[in-house]
């Protein structure tokens, strides 16, 4: 099962973020202590937010980066990392480069501190605003209509079909908001200190590009999908352009998702504070599975799998039903032979082999992560045959006759 790890950007911070990590995981303590030494202040104390520190991009950016990297390190300790892909929303792409071992942690902390400083020095007259209710082509047209050489506004984040974030000069934002509201949209000014992903960030882009050029870099262990183009890259020489260009370009999250899904990814794990990306993915892509992995949501469910284990017999019953459904259902959509082999036949063979292995295994319990992986693979096959999630669940309920088994394994398909 192909899995994508996605890392969030600014907007996911919260008071006391990282405290649980620091107090419960040795690797997190080491990373936070190292980051604090590099930054010149105690990052964990700053995250207590007693004086509104997390409203300052100079604090927020390092806080999110370190939290996300620490969470990734914990994830690796407790989970088997197989065929995965990376992407990050804005700042999250720098996190992805570190977790892919293309940039060292110490260099990344220095970089994120510089990134925040450069961005905070740009666009004192700038701001950001969220817009709901209109599609991006309508909003783009209005932004172009209002913008001038000295008074610019643009779409900074393409998050959902009808949820966009705009960035630019305050006056231009105000004028765009008036037009958007008049056309039935809902707008809200964001309490942020920098107009990110706009032309106001040109000086920051140049400075950050130069810093990226100077550091030591390696090729990423995992493909990183660019948040501004949706295209994957691994080579170290691509990192400079991707991480600097995004400062003035809009985040194209739907493009990223479409490319990952086209690659065959059906399981997404958000690693970082809060569940910003999880909520977007759940709302826009109902046929994929997404789970947050953080100190609030993920550690209590994925870390303590003994509370969510499944019996061997239940998983065997689930797999037998899954294989019956795959064999007994038609392909409802037109599909090329190469795609059939890759996305239907090969995963089916894998599930059949897993069933054979389980029948020879004497373990009484199966952990939830392995079980969910099997479930995701089954749902992915049916999706590629043209069945939506609701239809697949109905087929599963019809195929598993024992309602007690169905009740015990319901978390595999809800």
User: H or E stretch including 4?
Assistant: strand 3-7
Query: For residues 207 and 114, is the Cβ–Cβ distance under 8 A?
Result: yes
User: H or E stretch including 222?
Assistant: none
* Catalytic residue of the set 71, 197, 267, 368: 197
Tokens matching residue 159: 């998050």
Measured distance CA(353)–CA(120) in Å, rounded: 55
User: H or E stretch including 107?
Assistant: helix 105-120
Alpha carbon separation from 372 to 1, 187, 236, 318, 412 (Å, rounded): 10, 39, 34, 11, 6
Is 197 designated active site? yes
* Catalytic residue of the set 12, 71, 87, 90: 90
Give the three-class secondary structure for 87: strand
Query: For residues 102 and 219, is the Cβ–Cβ distance under 8 A?
Result: yes
Give the three-class secondary structure for 323: helix
Is 90 designated active site? yes
Sign of CA pseudo-dihedral 89, 90, 92, 97: positive
Which residues are the active-site residues?
90, 197
């Amino acid at each position: 099962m192909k899995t994508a790890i996605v890392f969030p950007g600014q907007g996911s911070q919260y008071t006391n973020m990282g405290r649980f990590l620091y107090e419960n995981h040795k690797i997190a303590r080491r990373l936070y202590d190292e980051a604090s030494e590099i930054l010149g202040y105690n990052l964990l104390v700053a995250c207590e937010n007693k004086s509104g520190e997390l409203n300052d991009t100079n604090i927020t950016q390092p806080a999110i980066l370190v939290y996300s990297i620490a969470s990734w390190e914990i994830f690796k300790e407790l989970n088997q990392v197989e065929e995965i892909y990376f992407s990050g929303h804005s700042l999250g792409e720098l996190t992805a480069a570190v977790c892919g071992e293309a940039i060292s942690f110490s260099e990344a902390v220095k970089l994120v501190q510089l990134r925040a400083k450069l961005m905070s020095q740009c666009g004192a007259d700038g701001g950001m605003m969220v817009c709901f209710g209109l599609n991006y082509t309508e909003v783009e047209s209005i932004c172009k209509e209002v913008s001038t050489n000295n008074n610019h506004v643009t779409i900074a984040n393409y998050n959902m079909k009808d949820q966009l974030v705009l960035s630019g000069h305050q006056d231009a934002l105000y004028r765009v908001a008036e037009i958007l509201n008049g056309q039935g949209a809902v707008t809200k000014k964001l309490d942020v200190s920098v107009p990110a992903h706009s032309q106001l960030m040109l000086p920051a882009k140049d400075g950050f590009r130069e810093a990226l050029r100077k550091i030591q870099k390696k090729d990423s262990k995992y493909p990183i999908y660019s948040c501004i183009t949706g295209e994957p890259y691994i080579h170290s020489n691509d990192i400079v352009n991707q991480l600097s260009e995004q400062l003035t370009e809009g985040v194209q999250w739907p493009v990223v998702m479409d490319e990952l899904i086209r690659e065959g990814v059906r399981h997404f794990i958000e690693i970082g504070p809060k569940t910003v990306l999880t909520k977007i993915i759940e709302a826009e892509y109902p046929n994929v599975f997404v789970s947050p992995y953080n100190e609030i949501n993920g550690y209590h469910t994925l870390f303590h799998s003994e509370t969510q284990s499944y019996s061997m017999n239940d998983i065997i019953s689930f797999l037998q039903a899954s294989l019956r459904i795959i064999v007994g259902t038609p392909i409802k959509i037109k599909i090329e032979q190469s795609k059939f082999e890759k996305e239907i036949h090969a995963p089916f063979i894998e599930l059949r082999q897993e069933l054979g292995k389980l029948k020879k295994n004497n373990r009484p319990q199966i952990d939830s992560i392995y079980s969910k992986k099997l479930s995701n693979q089954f749902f992915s096959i049916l999706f590629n045959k043209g069945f939506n999630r609701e239809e697949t669940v109905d087929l599963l309920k019809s195929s598993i006759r024992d309602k007690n088994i169905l009740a015990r394994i319901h978390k595999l398909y809800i």
